[in-house]
Chains A and B, each alone.
Chain A
C-alpha cells in the first residue's frame, strides 16, 4: 500500500478562547488573529516537515487548498508543491488538489499542474476536488447552483488540454477560449493520476468509476465513521462491475506514534484537542449553500443512514475531548506496533490502498511532528509496506522519469 504524508498547514496560535469568542475558523475568521511574521516561521516549519517526511521514505507528500481558513494556510497548494518538487527526490507530489471551478480559465490548472509534473520529473498526483462550500461558495463567491456543472466542464477542459495534440477551441457552457494549447504538457502520459477527494455522494462514486479515478475520502473523523461511507463506495463498485482493487480508494487518517500508548496519550492530547476544538469550529451558516448538494444527494441523505454518516451536517456531534477523540477513532495513537495493527485494520476494513496520514495536526510542534514521522517511518511503515501489492496493481500512482534522466537541483547555498 501507499503511505502518504499529508499537511493541512494549520495556524498554530489560535487563542484558547477561540471557540467562545469567535464565530468560526473559516470565511470570516478574524484577521487580527494572524501574525504574518509568525506565518513565515510556520510555513518554513511545515515545508521542513514535508521534506523531512519525504526523506524518511513516505511514498508521497500531500498538500491541499483552502481559502480564508485558520486551519489551512494553503490558498495555493501549487506554490508549496513547487518548492517540494525541487527539494525532494522520489516522493510523489500529491496535490489534493485544485478546486476546478474556481479558476478562470481552468486552463490555468492544466498549466500549473503540468509545470509541477515537469519540475518534479513526473511525480505529480493531480487531485480534483469540487472544494468545500466555505472555500468555493463563500470565500470565492462561486454560485452553488452552477458549481458542479462548472466543475465537470473544467475537468473536461483540463483533460482535453493535457491530451489534445492540436490547439483547440473550447466553446463550453461556462468557459469560452478560442485557443487552448498549454505549454508545458505533463511528463506523465496520457496524464498524471487523477484522485478525486469527495464526501459520500453516490454520484461522485459513479463518476470515479466511470472515469477510472481514485476516490479519496478525506474525513477528519477517522476510520470508524468512515467505514459506512467506504462500504457504500465498494458496494457501488460491485454494482458497476468494477473490481475491488484497494488502490481505487484513498482515505485520510490522523496518527500519533510514541514509544508507548501512555506516552502517546500525553504527547498528542493538546494538538488533537486544538484541532477538533478550535480548527473545526466551523460556523454552520457557511456549511450548506443551496444547490451545493444535488437534489439526488439530498434525497439520499435523508433516506439513507450511509449518507447521513458521510454527509456534511449529518451524524453525531464532533468529539473534542482527547479520550473521546481516540475512542471514536478520529486519531489513531499508540506504540508503533499498536498503530501498525490499527492501520492494518483501517486499510483492510475500508479496503483502502492509498492511505493519507496526518502526522502533524492542530498546534503540534515541529519537533513532535518530526518525532512522530520518524517513529512511523522506522517502526510502523515496515509493517504496512507491501500490503495489497501482491494481489493488486496500483494503476493510480505516478510514473516518473527514470532517475538517470532527472535533473539534479543545485544545493542551497547557506
Chain B
C-alpha cells in the first residue's frame, strides 16, 4: 500500500546564486519505505524523475522548469531522498514501484520528465500505464543495447570518477561533495546507494529489454541527448525514436555529457518547456 505523509519542507539552497524559496518537501511511501517529494512552482503539473545521481539539491534545471510549471520531484527508491531499492528484485518490481511512486507523489496523468535512470523508469510507466503519463520528455534513457555501439560500463570506474557522467566532471564532482554541515559518512553512503540502485536496475549491460515494448509507447515524446555522452552513444536517441509509436522529437544538447540536465540546465529545461507549451 502507498501512504502519504505530507510535511512542509524548508527552503533549499540553489546552486547558482540566491536563496530559493518555497520548495516544499513531503514524504511518500513505496514498498513501505519513505521517498522524498520536492515541489515548487505554479502552472500545469510536471513530474520529474531524476537519475544518476538523483536529486541532490533543488538544481538550476529544476528551478528553470519551475518558472513555468508546478514541478514535482519524487525520489526514486535508492536515489537521494528515497529508500527501499533493496526490496525491488526484478524489472516488474521496478515498474510497479515507479507507478506507486508517481501515484503517491500526485503526478498521475501529468506530463513527465525523466533523466537517465529516471528516463528508463518513466518510459516503462508510460508503456505499462498509458493513462498515468501525458507527454513524456526523456533525457538519455538506458534500456537499449546495440552490439556495434555498446553502452560503456558505468560501474567499471575508479571510486569518485564521474567523468563518464558529465562533460564537466569537476563541476559535477563539486556538486556531489559533502554539503556544508553534512555527515561525510552518510553522504558517501547515499551516493554509493544511488550507484547501487542504478546497478540493481541495469547491471551488467543496461539492456532492460525495452526494445520489445517500445511500440507500446504511444505518448508524444521528446528525446534529448548530450552530444558528448560518454556512457550511451548519442545515436541511441534515434534508435529510441524509431521504435516509439507516438510522435517523437529528438534534439541534441550540444557540448553536454550524459547528465545533460546538469551540464546544460537551461538548454535542457528550455527544450522541455518548449515541447510542453
Contact = CB atoms under 8 A, between A and B. Distances in A.
Q: Do A and B bind each other?
A: yes
A145 interface: yes
B245 interface: no
A146 B89 contact: yes
A284 interface: yes
A144 B156 CA distance: 12
B204 interface: yes
A291 interface: yes
Contact of B196 (A138, A145, A174): A145
- Pairs A-B, 9 closest by C-beta atoms: A291-B196, A145-B200, A290-B195, A290-B196, A141-B204, A143-B203, A285-B156, A145-B196, A302-B185
A386 interface: no
B192 A298 contact: yes
A289 to B, nearest CB: 5
Contact of A173 (B85, B89, B188, B199): B89
B197 interface: yes
Interface in B246-273: none
B158 interface: yes
B35 to A, nearest CB: 17
B203 A284 contact: no
Given A143-B204, A298-B188, A302-B185, A313 B159 contact: yes
Contacts of A289: 155, 199, 203
Interface residues of B, number: 22
B192 A295 contact: yes
Given A286-B156, A288-B159, A303 B185 contact: yes
Nearest to A149: B86
B203 A145 contact: yes
Nearest to A133: B155
Given A290-B196, A298-B189, A302-B188, A285 B204 contact: no
Interface in B200-231: 200, 203-204
Interface size class of A (residues with CB under 8 A): 20 to 34
B161 to A, nearest CB: 8
Most buried by A among B156, B158, B159: B156
A244 interface: no
Most buried by B among A141, A145, A295: A145
A223 to B, nearest CB: 28
Most buried by A among B184, B192, B203, B204: B203
Contact of A146 (B155, B188, B195, B200): B200
Nearest to A293: B192
A286 B204 CA distance: 13
B92 interface: no
Interface string A293-315: 00100110011000000000100
B185 A290 contact: no
A109 interface: no
Nearest to B198: A290
A356 interface: no
Contacts of A291: 192, 195-196, 199-200
A380 interface: no
Contacts of A144: 155, 196, 199, 203
A118 interface: no
Contacts, number: 60
Contacts of B85: 145
Contacts of B196: 144-145, 290-291
B174 interface: no
Contacts of A290: 155, 192-193, 195-196, 198-199
B19 interface: no
B218 to A, nearest CB: 31
B157 interface: yes
A143 B199 contact: yes
A137 interface: yes
Interface in A124-175: 137-138, 141, 143-146, 173-174
29 contacts: A143-B199, A143-B200, A143-B203, A143-B204, A144-B155, A145-B200, A146-B89, A146-B200, A173-B89, A174-B89, A284-B159, A285-B157, A285-B158, A286-B156, A288-B159, A289-B199, A289-B203, A290-B192, A290-B193, A290-B195, A290-B196, A290-B199, A291-B195, A291-B199, A298-B188, A298-B192, A299-B189, A302-B188, A303-B185
A143 to B, nearest CB: 4
Interface string B149-166: 000000111110000000
Contacts of B199: 143-145, 289-291
Given A298-B189, A299-B189, A302-B188, A145 B158 contact: no
Contacts of A286: 156
A171 to B, nearest CB: 14
Contacts of B193: 290, 295
A289 B156 CA distance: 7
B111 to A, nearest CB: 31
Nearest to A144: B199
B92 to A, nearest CB: 14
A221 to B, nearest CB: 20
Contacts of B203: 137, 141, 143-145, 289
A141 B202 CA distance: 11
Nearest to B158: A284
A338 B155 CA distance: 46
B107 to A, nearest CB: 27
A202 to B, nearest CB: 16
A141 to B, nearest CB: 4
A299 B195 CA distance: 16
Contact of A145 (B156, B157, B197): B197
A281 to B, nearest CB: 15
Nearest to A143: B203
Nearest to B203: A143
A248 B24 CA distance: 55
A284 B189 CA distance: 19
A137 B193 CA distance: 17
Contacts of B156: 138, 285-286
